[in-house]
Amino acid sequence: MSGDKKASSQSLQSVRGRKVSAEVRLPRKIVQRHLHTTPEKMVDYWRMSAVGGVLSGTIGVQGHYANGLAALFIACGQDAACVSEAAVGVTRFEVGTEGELYAAVTLPNLIVGTVGGGTSLPTQRACLEILGLAGAGHARAFSEVCAAVALSGEISIIAALAAGQFTRAHAKLARGQKNGKASVSPTPNAHSVESERAADSVGETGA
């Protein structure tokens, strides 16, 4: 059996690379002030997306690990093709006992290194040096950086969806543009709009 450069159940169940978890607790005030939503709405949206992922047959339960990992892998000289098997795992959101947001990610199969291959290219090595992780003996620490990137991405996308900002941001920055100029009345993605409406409804019910 081969799981090299492809997502598989083996990627989730066993460790071929490095298994890493990262977690954070965000106070309610921080969530409200900077993410423009509430821990309850974020947890409700996470729960809804997790169920949707299971129903669609995804491997693991997560939003978009691949986005952050792809950028980090390319910048730091990793094998970009390994993102396909590294970007599997489980994201978990909960409301804490003091009303804070608890968020955690577990990535069981990170294929990373800090020597050899693309890590020796000038730009990629410079990126590793900025992190203080160039050379031998830093692969475990680099895998922790990967987990932190994935966690940040999960918090960001769930917050944007729960706050109703996801579609608006895409419309403003890319979609709805005509002849290189932003359209006055961009048409947002219908699926995203319905998802955001559902999230708002669920959040209001659970709040």
- Sorted by where each begins, the domain ranges of the chain are 9-163, 167-207
What is the bridge-based pairing of β-strands 89-95 and 60-61?
parallel
pLDDT per residue as tens, the chain (207 positions): 667 788 888 777 777 889 999 999 999 999 999 999 999 999 999 999 999 988 998 888 999 999 999 999 999 999 999 999 999 999 999 999 999 999 999 999 999 999 999 999 999 999 999 999 999 999 999 999 999 999 999 999 999 999 988 888 777 887 656 665 555 444 444 444 444 544 444 444 443
**185 contacts 191 by C-beta, under 8 angstroms:** no
Among the listed residues 113, 111, 105, 88, the one whose alpha carbon sits nearest the alpha carbon of residue 13: 88
| CATH T-level topology, domain 9-163 | 3.90.770
**206 contacts 40 by C-beta, under 8 angstroms:** yes
**103 contacts 154 by C-beta, under 8 angstroms:** yes
> Any bridge partners for residue 22, and if so which?
105
